[in-house]
Amino acid sequence: MATTNDLKNGLVLNLDNQLWQVLEFQHVKPGKGPAFVRTKLKHVISGKIIDKTFNAGTKVETANVDRRDMQYLYHDGSDYVFMDAKDYDQVTIPSSLVGDAANYMLENQELQVSFHDGTPLSVELPASVELTISHTEPGLQGDRSTGGSKPATLETGYEIQVPLFLEEGTKIKVDTRTGDYLGRVK
């Protein structure tokens, strides 16, 4: 148990037997009336985001979440297989929990997997990853005032928009939160 004064970003709460992760919180002390804490919570499994307000000092139940460094091994049907870096245990995680992270995962890549009571909750990617462009059309130079973009398929099979000058085989950096092109890797 913790109080609302102990809230911090990333903390996982157990509210009504459901797990919610704190995305944002703000302590508010109005001029009139009691203080309260305004939070933005994300449901760990479904990804739904809600706003919830707690009275200051209210006790909230925290969930025990274990984050482990794991290596992505391979894709098996609708599941993904990961291996714990410390004890070499293999864990199978369904594609519904992996979600959009699958667009940026390469075999043998190191990731963090969150567990609650031995059950996998989510796969966490770094903020950016380096991937190679496997297919893109040649860029055509034309009469334009701003730089254009074109679709490019990455080695994972995911398609993003990249500048016209990039060619197949180019290694690029991609933002895993937005899917945006960040730059070439030298």
Task: Look up the CATH number of the domain holding residue 145.
Answer: 2.40.50.140
CA angle 26–27–30, rounded 5-degree value: 120
Task: Quote the domain boundaries for residue 140.
Answer: 126-182
* Position 94 in a domain: yes
Supply the pLDDT for residue 83: 92
Query: Alpha helix (H) ranges present in the chain?
Result: 95-98
The answer on 118 and 130 residing in a single domain is: no
Would 60 be classed as within a structural domain? no
Flag whether pLDDT at 149 surpasses 50.
Answer: yes
**Of 105, 122, 139, which marks where a domain is finished?**
122
Helix/strand/coil for 5: helix
pLDDT > 90 in the chain, percent: 10
Q: What is the pTM of this model?
A: 0.68
Q: Quick one: 107 and 136 in the same domain?
A: no
CA dist 21 to 14, 67, 116, Å?
Answer: 9, 13, 12
The mean predicted confidence, pLDDT, of the chain is 85
At residue 159, does pLDDT exceed 80? yes
Q: Are 121 and 98 in contact (CB under 8 A)?
A: no
Most confident of 45-49, 85-89, 97-101, 143-147: 85-89
**Per residue in 78-128, pLDDT tens?**
888 999 888 888 888 888 778 788 888 888 888 888 888 888 877 888 888
Name the band, by pLDDT with cuts 50, 70 and 90, for residue 146.
low
pLDDT at 59 over 80: yes
Residue 85 and residue 131 in one domain: no
Query: What tokens were used for 11?
Result: 């903390």
Domain assignment present for 58: no
Give domain status of residue 164, yes or no: yes
* pLDDT surpasses 80 at 134: yes
d(CA 37, CA 26): 6
Residue 2: inside a domain, yes or no? no
Give the whole-angstrom CA distance, residue 105 versus residue 155: 10
Is residue 133 over pLDDT 60? yes
pLDDT at 63 over 60: yes
Query: Is 114 part of any domain?
Result: yes
- DSSP secondary structure string, 133-183? EEEEPPPPP-S-SS--EEEEEETTS-EEEEETT--TT-EEEEETTT--EEE
Residue 143, pLDDT > 60, answer: no
- Residue written as token pair 């919610």: 20
Together in a domain, 133 and 117: no
Kindly state whether residue 131 falls inside one of the protein's structural domains: yes
Residue 118 shares a structural domain with residue 75: yes
Cα-based distances in Å from 179 to 111, 129, 138: 17, 10, 21
What's the confidence (pLDDT) of residue 142? 59
Domain boundary among 122, 139, 168: 122
Q: Are residues 76 and 114 in the same domain?
A: yes
**Same structural domain for residues 175 and 137?**
yes
Contact 160, 173 (CB under 8 A): no
Whether residue 98 lies inside any domain: the answer is: yes
Number of domains in the chain: 3
Q: Which CATH number fits the domain that encloses residue 25? A: 2.30.30.30
